[in-house]
Amino acid sequence: MITYSKAGVDRKIRAQAKKSLKSFELTYKLSKYGKIIKTPFNVLYPIGNKKYQVKTCDGIGTKVLLAEWINKHNTIGQDAVAMVVNDCIRCGAKPIAITDMIDIKKSEPKLLREIQKGLIFGAKEADCPLIGGETADVPELLNTTYHINCDCVGELKKKDIITGEKIKPGNIIIGFQSSGVHSNGLTLVRKVLFKKWGGKFNAFDKPKGFKRELIFECLEPTKIYVNPFLKIVKRFEILGVVHITGDAYLKFKKLNRKIGFEFNNFKPQPIFNLIQKTGKISLKEMASVFNLGWGFAVIIDKASVNGVLNLLKKERIHTEIIGRVIKEKKIIIRYRNKKIVLA
């Protein structure tokens, strides 16, 4: 049985390493317009007139290895944009600007044009301008042809900041459908699925039950949830938000440590079942690494459920109730007649 740790990513060591980053908080006193506000996933800084901004940054990880493998680079930019705009809205902010950083072995016009296609498409999906960035030729630093990072700045009023503090038992979790693996867990995906990294399949194999070749399933770009989320946040009180990325359902424990969360509705795409079966991966490990069909989630009170779901029916992204908030300080997964306690 393979785990994310055996594949090369140790969550425990990573969590310990991140604790050292809290030293950055010593710089918060340098804020020019007032006190900095920390939410479960974002740090917001005041810009005056009771307005705040948030800045998020992220990259696409080892998904670039798959794009490089088959020389398909026109969607990878969307992943880079998606990771930062979806992170930006977790506190209720509206994305107002995106920048990109491309480290590349050699600036080739055709390759950069292909990468740019995905970046532009992602910016349009997020309804947010991509205002610039940097391309650096750094061949000595790279094992891959290139790597992309993006940054996003979002803005909102202080009264609209989503802190997670109001979440209580009985609240409902609404899930937004993912497009598949998105941009997380690809180190495990590659090593389980593809012969190139020790797995079972070739890039263009089409396993039973799949409508297209496996490589294209894995390269399917990350969905962008900005527009549907901003529509519901204008009309309903959103108590908490999670972008289900690295650490997957473990992320919910960061929202509010005084309560817990139970999930009982999963709609995983075939890719997840293939990963689990091929790698003989436990359900606990799957739910700690992958989104299992839901890439984004909001927490609302029961009275808002019908209104939120009815409003979201008009959007292209499918949504359903996927769980609830509980009194126990646990993350519980109920799937295929199994009950798993993640944390």
Q: Which helix (H) or strand (E) holds 150?
A: strand 146-157
Please tell me the predicted confidence (pLDDT) of residue 11.
64
Residue 262: C-alpha distances to residues 20, 73, 169, 172, 326 (Å): 31, 38, 10, 10, 7
320 and 264 in contact (C-beta within 8 Å)? no
Between the CA atoms of 240, 176, 45 and 152, what dihedral angle is there, to the nearest 10 degrees?
170
User: What six digits make up the tokens of 30?
Assistant: 């340098």
Contacts of 54 (CB under 8 A, 6+ apart): 42, 43, 44, 45, 88, 91, 93, 153, 154, 155, 156
Domains of the chain as residue ranges with CATH: 38-159 (3.30.1330.10), 172-341 (3.90.650.10)
Task: Give the residues across from 342 on adjacent strands.
Answer: none
E strands within 60-123?
Answer: 94-104
Is pTM beyond 0.85? Reply is yes
* Alpha-carbon gap, residue 289 to 283, rounded angstroms: 10
pLDDT per residue, tens digit, the chain (343 aa), is 677 676 667 767 766 766 666 788 889 999 999 999 999 999 999 999 999 999 999 999 999 999 999 999 999 999 999 999 999 999 999 999 999 999 999 999 999 999 999 999 999 999 999 999 999 999 999 999 999 999 999 999 999 999 999 999 999 999 999 999 999 999 999 999 999 999 999 999 999 999 999 999 999 999 999 999 999 999 999 999 999 999 999 999 999 989 999 999 999 999 999 999 999 999 999 999 999 999 999 999 999 999 999 999 988 889 999 999 999 999 999 999 999 999 8
